[in-house]
A and B are shown apart, each in its own frame.
Chain A
Amino acid sequence: MDKAGESPFMKYLRKDRLPTIFCAGCGNGIAMNTFFKGMEMAEIDFENLILVSGIGCSSRIPGYVECDSLHTTHGRPISFATGIKLANPQHDVAVFSGDGDAAAIGGNHLIHAARRNINITVICINNSIYGMTGGQISPTSPRGSYGTTAPYGALERPFSLSDLVTAAGGTYVARWTTAHPLQLSNAIKKGFLNKGFSFIEVISQCPTYYGRKNRMKSPIEMLKWMKESSILKRKADKMEESELEGKIIVGEFQKKEELEFTDKLCKLLEEQCVTGKPAAVRSAYQGD
């Protein structure tokens, strides 16, 4: 039951830790709200949820949520989440990660979890920069954007994370921005309902570093930029690459059904098990 005057999301939060450490207008808070909304829409039991994160501003989110959570090392949340899911396949496991956490230091873990199609839901908050450490360029920083490590503008081609995860084998992949909170909530719902690896890329605002360095001082300006630059995937698919420079392609990138990793492993254990104990336990402790 909602308490009078309280946000509908307050019931999921550790109130004694609020307000969050996030800067005013940071997109992390919107990602958090849409996560709860998507979770409700998918009718996920909050008591059954485990949240995992790495290091970064975005990775602070699980610490505010009143459920079991793990705050792990930089780039490794998906690996920890894989362990949790394999040991406790009955739990709903979700990961909060930044673009640096998921795609730079954690890039390998991301593609291999997608390849395995393990049933976890990754919410990647892509603010195109390293927020926590002071505005360094990340693998998703757009060409020409400024950061403390790119005073003349980023020279490299950025990763399109949703395309990357689709190619790697993720079975539900969608990208929206914090300026599309309803579509984003719906994508998170679908991510939860997908029995396999789900990747929701949230293009988000870091007004403090990305905004300040790229002539968008306020979170309002940043949200307007995201809204105006967004183009639906099915429309973008018919356009040339040159026409899409500077655009944010939003929508569903992948939605398909495939056998899931924990299911495959459980089945294998069942088939191989003659003693009632899993095979690994037999060989390690019984000398066979």
Chain B
Amino acid sequence: MITVNENLCKGCNLCTEFCPRQVYEQTDKLNKKGVHVPVPVNEEKCKKCGLCALMCPDQAIKVDEKDEE
């Protein structure tokens, strides 16, 4: 499972741009600070490479290694 922490995300969209599988999409979802938080809409395409969590400058992303049951 992919979790994006709304309270930490600053909406830079590096995850949206650099995920090799285009898992994230910018949506209209706003957090308390009015930031557009990306949503992992294509989660089934994720290959769990961990790049998004390594690149997120605000430590907002967690990609679970295990598949969901």
A219 to B13 Cα, complex, angstroms: 8
Task: Enumerate chain B residues within 8 angstroms of A19, measured Cβ to Cβ.
Answer: 7-8, 10, 58
| Number of residues of chain A lying within 8 A (CB) of chain B | 33
Q: Is the CB of A5 within 8 A of B3?
A: yes
Q: Is the CB of B57 within 8 A of A220?
A: no
Task: Enumerate chain A residues within 8 angstroms of B8, measured Cβ to Cβ.
Answer: 7, 18-19
Q: A2 to nearest B CB, angstroms? A: 7
Q: Is the CB of B57 within 8 A of A5?
A: no
A219 to B11 Cα, complex, angstroms: 11
Which of B3, B53, B57, B60 has a CB less than 8 Å from the CB of A26? B57
| Chain A, Cβ-Cβ closest to B7 | A19
| Chain B, Cβ-Cβ closest to A204 | B57
A280 to B16 Cα, complex, angstroms: 59
Task: Enumerate chain A residues within 8 angstroms of B60, measured Cβ to Cβ.
Answer: 7
Is A10 located at the chain interface by the 8 A CB criterion?
Answer: yes
Stretch at the interface among A30-38, A48-56, A76-84, A142-150: A30-38
A residues with CB within 8 A of B: 2, 4-10, 13, 18-20, 22-30, 32-34, 37, 178, 181-182, 185, 218-220, 223
B residues with CB within 8 A of A: 3, 5, 7-8, 10-14, 17-18, 35, 50-51, 53-62
> 21 A-B pairs, CB-CB below 8 angstroms?
A2-B62, A5-B5, A7-B5, A7-B8, A7-B53, A7-B59, A7-B62, A8-B62, A19-B7, A19-B10, A27-B57, A29-B58, A29-B59, A32-B57, A32-B59, A33-B53, A178-B55, A181-B54, A182-B51, A220-B13, A223-B17
